[in-house]
Structure 1
Amino acid sequence: MTVDRVLPSAEAYDLIELVREIARQELAPLAAEAEAAEQFPRAAFTLLGRAGLLGLPYPERWGGSGQPYEVYLQALEEIAAAWMSVGVGVSVHVMACHALANEGTDQQRDRYLPELVGGELLGAYALSEAQAGSDISGLSTKAQETDGEYSLSGAKAWITHGSQADFYTTFARTSDDPKGGISCFLVPASAPGLTFGSPERKMGLTASTTATVYFDSVPVASDRRICAEGEGMRMALSALDSGRLGIAACATGLAQAALDCAVSFARERRQFGQPIAEFQGIQFMLAEMAAAVDTARAGYLLAARKRDAGRPFTRDAAVAKLVATDAAMKVTTDAVQVLGGYGYTRDFPAERYLREAKVTQIFEGTNQIQRLVIARQLLR
């Protein structure tokens, strides 16, 4: 079904319609085969970049579209509903541009941002480590400065687009201060000493490459450090607030796709001489699925509108991520149930949606971490 959206301008309606058309005609037909083959969708990102959809929330001066976050997220939802791996990839790319776009100098933005935001290059966000996922202060990758150049050594784990990205927004330790000793660097994929592990073998999102990134004395020019030394943790947490909204939108799009699949099947599948959609048990299940999707969408839009208004939204982002990803897990599980035995086969996308939903409760901060963030905000 087409989602009945409320958007802030006529331009936004036209934009969402363009995104929906691209998603349905160019992305959705390729998703199942690419996921089965574990084939990275670089051509899809190139297409979206050329259409101006990889820099939607960033300023036009540097190649973006200058759209409010509430518009960007609804465009992202449409992409994720068609192909979740691509939706997540767009969210990661936008998050990878966050530090430079919001904290870089004008000189840095003039030099690097147009290619990044304009979609000519694909980004990755290199924060997590094997022993420092939810605990950012525990990261151990180091950046040592000598003669105006940094040397980065260490490893980053679970990096979306690892080995496929053109640049890595990387957080490394420049001092031993647990919280104030982290800095942010823009590392090109071509940097000497940058290597990658084998892609992780995952339950879902199999077309989205996830790999460990190794830094072996990787040289990074000082002008590729974003903001002052020691500002990295603040920038990382800020980017994660926005990134969680991206994942919430993606999870909502995935849940919407699962709901649409279940509704379509219920109308066509006949048992006891009538469509199963006529049975109250199925109707109630579909109603609960729809309510979960609508609630998830309302949650991320509230947070986005607060963000657009310049108001604090950390708690709202955590709520949105928690609610939307839990909804995605429930709705995709119920979609498989509505399809019955067919839902358990790869002849229908419901089983893939279920496999893809699970990781949304884990990345960009597990849902246990979201509960911790919400509680801390409440008890301040």
Structure 2
Amino acid sequence: MVDRIMNEEQRDIVDLAKGILEKELVPQLEECDKTSRFPTDVFQSLFKAGLYAVEVPEEYGGLGMNFETQFLLNETLGYYDTGFAFSFHAGSMSADSIFIGGTEEQKRWASEQLLAGKVFAFCLTEPAAGSDAGAITTTAKRDGDEYIINGNKTFISCGEIADYFIVAATIDKSLKHKGITLFLVEKERGVQIGKHEDKMGLRLSPTNEVIFDEIRVPADHIIGREGKGFSIVMKNMEAVRPQTMTFAAGLMMRAVDEATRFAKERTSFNMPIIKFQGLSFLLADMLKLTQVSHGTLMYIARLLDEKQPLNGMGASAKIFISESASQVASHAVQVLGGYGYIKDYPVEKLMRDAKIFEIFEGTNQIQQVVLAGLLSKSDK
């Protein structure tokens, strides 16, 4: 129901992904949702098709896919399952900090790993430090030519499937944000994977506690310089937030399709229920929010491709699209009525999956703080 304008190359990429997902993901989707399992076989099929780590720059051997095409691909992945889509993308997106603040050698190394299908996980959040990144307690102490990392990270996407971790640690707690430093840590250095979180939604995306206990890494594993980690993270998040919302947009497209299909087939009082104005207006609202969300993302993609500043658009889009996704999913359940509330139909899952988009990548309330801060700093 949601028309997307694509060129021939973009259409081929989207169709390639759809073919793999319909053949390999859809048949096992219900089981994966029940057991909270990430289907690595589907990951491998998409990787072999050349659809993993598509953002790796051409100069490092990658496709260097532009943001517009990435966003269209992400929406397609999200249409079939937001949890799988998010982790499939996060596995490479977590290495973005290296491309932002790393050395030339680190960028080339990361590119080689990504193009070989390796998975990265970004470790920032802690049990007592979420939105307030300056409150992290994971430490990194210099010991000769090495750093010793100690601390626990929580709600880490891709934790159990990751080969490498980008870890935010402080070199001096008294410095708060200015002490945060990013480190590249290989799993084989002794990283421990803790609890697999049993989540309400996004269940195909593994979320874990990750434990760093006396983990030694060479000094050349710093990304950027000591104390520059926070600035790298903030620069990265400006683009990450709208990228993540592409999966929510895909979910909304799926909700529109499922609700519309049901409303056309379900009859009441001898007519399809889509003919009843009250219900048709619910569908109209769903389509409205979905179209505007998609259009907003395409505008942001253009800004990113042209290397223009977003000036708060990332935060605004995150708020609007995530709230819209929850509303659209809720409307889909309402359209299906009692059927929408049972697991035999897909919309109850869409409703469960939608909520997280208002929470992660910085809660919507934090995004409002960001936007208010921009206004307070702007010239009158």
Q: Tell whether the structures are fold-level matches, with TM greater than 0.5.
A: yes
Following the alignment from structure 1 to structure 2, what is the Cα–Cα distance between the partners of residues 73 and 63? 21
Q: What stretches of structure 2 of length at least 5 have no aligned partner?
A: none
Which is worse superposed, 28-37 or 320-329? 28-37
Match of 2:103 in 1: 105
Deviations along 1:121-157, one digit per CA (max 9) or x if unpaired, are: 1121101111110001111111112121111100111
Q: What stretches of structure 1 of length at least 5 have no aligned partner?
A: none
2:52 to 41, 51, 54: 54
Kept after mapping to 2: 8 A contact 1:196/1:213? yes
Q: Residue type of the partner of 1:27?
A: L
Following the alignment from structure 1 to structure 2, what is the Cα–Cα distance between the partners of residues 63 and 364? 29
Q: TM-score, normalised by structure 2?
A: 0.95
Match of 2:317 in 1: 320
Kept after mapping to 2: 8 A contact 1:266/1:277? yes
Match of 1:13 in 2: 11
Q: Residue type of the partner of 2:102?
A: G
Write out aligned runs for 1:107-256 (5 A). 107-116=105-114, 118=115, 120-176=117-173, 177-192=175-190, 194-256=191-253
Following the alignment from structure 1 to structure 2, what is the Cα–Cα distance between the partners of residues 112 and 311? 25
User: Within the alignment, does 1:272 sit opposite 2:269 as a pair?
Assistant: yes
Q: Give the percent of matched residue pairs that are identical in Structure 1 and Structure 2.
A: 34
Deviations along 1:309-360, one digit per CA (max 9) or x if unpaired, are: 1111151111111111101100000000000110000000100100111111
How many residue pairs align between the two structures? 376
TM-superposed CA distance for 1:54, in Å, is: 2.1
TM-superposed CA distance for 1:373, in Å, is: 1.1
Deviations along 1:80-118, one digit per CA (max 9) or x if unpaired, are: 1111111111332233110112322221222232222x2
Q: Residue type of the partner of 1:150?
A: Y
Following the alignment from structure 1 to structure 2, what is the Cα–Cα distance between the partners of residues 135 and 123? 23
Which is worse superposed, 148-157 or 35-44? 35-44
Q: Residue type of the partner of 1:186?
A: L
Following the alignment from structure 1 to structure 2, what is the Cα–Cα distance between the partners of residues 164 and 29? 22
Following the alignment from structure 2 to structure 1, what is the Cα–Cα distance between the partners of residues 131 and 239? 16
Match of 1:306 in 2: 303
Following the alignment from structure 1 to structure 2, what is the Cα–Cα distance between the partners of residues 186 and 40? 24
Q: Residue type of the partner of 2:57?
A: P
- Please provide the CA RMSD for this pair: 1.6
Q: Residue type of the partner of 1:190?
A: E
Deviations along 1:182-207, one digit per CA (max 9) or x if unpaired, are: 11111111112x11222112111222
TM-superposed CA distance for 1:11, in Å, is: 2.6
TM-superposed CA distance for 1:63, in Å, is: 4.1
Q: Residue type of the partner of 2:163?
A: D
Which is worse superposed, 68-77 or 342-351? 68-77
Q: Any runs of at least 4 consecutive aligned residues in structure 1 with deviations exceeding 6 A, and if so which? A: none
Give the 3-state SS of the residue equivalent to 1:206 in structure 2.
coil
TM-superposed CA distance for 1:256, in Å, is: 1.0
Match of 1:261 in 2: 258
Which is worse superposed, 261-270 or 11-20? 11-20
Following the alignment from structure 1 to structure 2, what is the Cα–Cα distance between the partners of residues 271 and 241? 48
CA 1:319/1:28 → structure 2, altered by over 3 Å: closer, same or farther?
farther
Q: Residue type of the partner of 2:62?
A: G
TM-superposed CA distance for 1:250, in Å, is: 0.7
Kept after mapping to 2: 8 A contact 1:174/1:230? yes
Kept after mapping to 2: 8 A contact 1:326/1:361? yes
Match of 1:340 in 2: 337
CA 1:25/1:63 → structure 2, altered by over 3 Å: closer, same or farther?
farther
TM-superposed CA distance for 1:119, in Å, is: 5.3
Write out aligned runs for 1:339-378 (5 A). 339-378=336-375
Kept after mapping to 2: 8 A contact 1:143/1:174? yes
Q: TM-score, normalised by structure 1?
A: 0.95
Give the 3-state SS of the residue equivalent to 1:266 in structure 2.
helix
Give the 3-state SS of the residue equivalent to 2:160 in structure 1.
coil
Kept after mapping to 2: 8 A contact 1:140/1:172? yes
